[in-house]
Amino acid sequence: MQIELSNWISVFMALIATASTIITYAVYRSSTDPEVIVYVDTDKKRPSFIILIIENIGKGPAENITFKTSRPLPEKAFSIEEPSNMPETMKSGPIVEGVPFLAPGQKMIITWGQYGGLKKAINGDNIVVTAKYKRANSKRWFNKASSSSQLFVEAFSTTDISDSNWDKKISETLVKTNKQLQNIDNTIKKIGVRES
């Protein structure tokens, strides 16, 4: 039994329509769904501090966010040099307790520690953090999503941790300059009073 050319064209058109629908739906979801990630960075305003950042990099709001880590996270691991004692395990905060809501582009920043303390606690391993969340205000049953991130500290061993907080430095310099100008002004006024 032979299939006519018109039947082949019909099947081909149905496949194109299905593929087009799937692609359109994928584009729609990528432009409206949240995506919550967790990553490590240096604190630009506080030299030597390493921070954890929870951020919704997606286009939609996320709610009921929970986190699962491949191993316990250290907390308050403050030491530039590797300490003799092991830092404590994280017992509270957004990673442990979850986050009720994150708007698109919103981030939460946690002061995690310093290189020496974190290196001692993590011991060269990466920690995988899996975030599970729902798309906020969605009535669909398939609105759950998850994403995985890796936390690493070893890459920060040669990172520049110098103070780059230029706003603060400029402000401090202006305050000092203002005090010096006030002293000069007061001295000129005293000299003027003596001469008159």
* Integer Cα distance of 113 and 94 in angstroms: 16
Span 27-45, mean pLDDT?
83
Closest listed residue to residue 65, CA positions, set 147, 148, 132: 132
User: Is 134 a residue whose pLDDT tops 60?
Assistant: yes
pLDDT band of residue 44 (cuts 50, 70, 90) is: confident
Q: Which three-class secondary structure state does DSSP give residue 113?
A: strand
User: Is 37 a residue whose pLDDT tops 80?
Assistant: yes
Span 125-134, mean pLDDT?
94
* Integer Cα distance of 123 and 77 in angstroms: 13
pLDDT digit string, tens, across residues 3-14 = 677 777 888 888
CB 147 within 8 A of CB 36: yes
pLDDT digit string, tens, across residues 137-155 = 776 666 788 999 999 888 8
Closest listed residue to residue 67, CA positions, set 88, 40, 38, 91: 38
User: Is 169 a residue whose pLDDT tops 60?
Assistant: yes
| Mean pLDDT estimate for the chain | 85
* Helix intervals (H) in 88-165: 94-97, 115-122
pLDDT of residue 69: 96
* Integer Cα distance of 147 and 95 in angstroms: 14
CB 102 within 8 A of CB 54: yes
User: Is 1 a residue whose pLDDT tops 60?
Assistant: no
CB 99 within 8 A of CB 65: yes
pLDDT of residue 131: 97
Strongest mean pLDDT among 35-39, 43-47, 81-85, 188-192: 35-39
pLDDT of residue 168: 67
